[in-house]
A = this chain, B = another copy of it.
């Protein structure tokens, strides 16, 4: 049996060699536990410099669902709720993790996986007294779950809306590298850190073995965060195991993190460009490393024999076109992309 190349996701390979090398190089040096060591301090400084927020707090966690649930449950009081798109990861693919901490998610339809201020106001207008939850936090993702990108204008508008109505803003950055390094993105890490209350920089999907860097920008949310992290089982005894990776990803003038994300985006854009030339349609605009082409049924049948990828919408009827998701990563070889495009033609 030959192994098919997988476009299923961007965490199909273990870690970039420089990340593993960073782990290997410290040998048996001793360090303090729970992220209170010098390596971790240094990694935090590097990230704070990158996002231009010396006053921010950084916490290294192990995964995205965990980062979301610790952040959100640490911010909200019991009767407060989250506003999010129907397509938001917390609303669909986290097994009710937010509700398990006691909070309702008020979903809105959104467009292209994105919210806008009118969506937020619409939810607020429906929640007016103590018989209803009180919406208090807005959840967005960059890049979104459908691969689209918020522009700086869009994020500024949401941020202003949140300030106006005294709402917190949390940004899921599982694919922040790909988001900010997209051709369609006009904002920087510093912009994100300026406009949101909390966000995280995803390592798992961009070359780390595992790990997410949670950033607490809002000073009012910093004091007790470590208690929440510990209580949710999210505090690693060896915090150093994550911080060394982030140091490898963010050190230097041309951080590996951005280089890897750019490669992932390039491979997806090359795929998209090639498919566009072949007249394929797309379910959503291909803007980052996740693209959603529409394959004619027979093409779909052929390609899934040769490659691994997910159907995005259920395949309802034989013969009808199929929307699929193709994900590229820091590790996707250009030759595979070219081969995929070739195979489409045959």
- Where the two chains meet, the residues of A that have a C-beta atom closer than 8 Å to any C-beta of B are 3, 5-6, 8-9, 11-15, 17, 20, 23-24, 26-34, 62-70, 73-74, 77-79, 81, 92-97, 99-105, 125, 130-134, 204-205, 209-210, 224, 226-238, 240-241, 244, 314, 331
Contact = CB atoms under 8 A, between A and B. Distances in A.
B224 A236 contact: no
B15 A227 contact: no
B130 A209 contact: no
A63 B231 contact: no
Given A78-B228, A93-B132, A23 B12 contact: no
5 contacts: A65-B233, A81-B96, A94-B233, A134-B227, A233-B234
Nearest to A205: B237
Contacts of A74: 78
A77 B30 contact: no
Contacts of A24: 17, 20, 24
A244 B66 CA distance: 22
A96 B231 contact: yes
Nearest to A208: B238
A203 to B, nearest CB: 10
A28 B237 contact: no
A132 B92 contact: yes
Given A78-B231, A227-B79, A230-B65, A12 B33 contact: yes
B314 A228 contact: no
A235 B210 CA distance: 11
Given A65-B230, A78-B100, A131 B30 contact: no
Contact of A241 (B32, B205, B210): B210
